[in-house]
């Protein structure tokens, strides 16, 4: 899709609206993407986002179950934080690639 400017920084997105370089991410960008998804980020959201970013950086494949077992939030809570597509939406807001897992 190309680049979008955030306060003078060019951020790269793919055609599905996922950031292509997690290193470009910051909280301001997260808030902007979240508002596009109709979500207002709270501290709990950021805990989940940071967890996802850590696991992604460690090369782990992310699943809803993994997030549910992380101790941050249970699965029901995850659905409430990111309604209508918890793993996809949280990954997008966290600036990591679209999840490639089937569970």
Partner 1 sequence: MEEQVLEKPITKKVKEEKPLKKVCIICAKGSIEDVYAALVMTNGAVMEGIEARLFFTFFGLDAITKSQMNKLHTSTVGNPAMRMPGGLPFPSLLGMLPGVEAGVSTMMKKQMEKLDIPPVDEFMDMITAGGGEIYACKLAADMFGLEKEDLSEHVKDIITVGQFYEMCGGEGTQIIFT
Interacting residues with partner 1 (CB under 8 A): 61, 63-66, 68, 74-76, 79, 83-88, 101-103
Angle at 12 between CA 10 and CA 85, to 5 degrees: 130
Q: What's the closest the beta carbon of residue 9 comes to partner 1, in angstroms?
A: 31
Contact status, residue 1 vs residue 15, Cβ threshold 8 Å: yes
Helices (H), 25-101: 27-36, 43-57, 64-68, 75-81, 86-93
Active site annotation includes 102 = yes
Closest CB to partner 1 among residues 32, 61: 61
Closest CB to partner 1 among residues 46, 79: 79
User: Pick the catalytic residue: 7, 58, 102, 103?
Assistant: 102
Residues noted as catalytic: 102
């Amino acid at each position: 899709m190309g680049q979008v400017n955030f306060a003078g920084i060019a951020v790269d997105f793919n055609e599905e609206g996922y950031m292509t370089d997690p290193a470009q991410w910051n909280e301001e960008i997260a808030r902007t993407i979240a508002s596009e998804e109709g979500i207002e980020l709270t501290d709990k959201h950021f805990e989940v986002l940071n967890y996802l970013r850590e696991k992604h950086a460690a090369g782990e494949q992310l699943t809803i179950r993994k997030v549910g077992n992380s101790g941050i939030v249970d699965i029901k809570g995850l659905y409430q934080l990111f309604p209508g597509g918890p793993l996809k939406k949280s990954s997008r807001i966290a600036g990591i690639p679209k999840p490639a897992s089937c569970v």
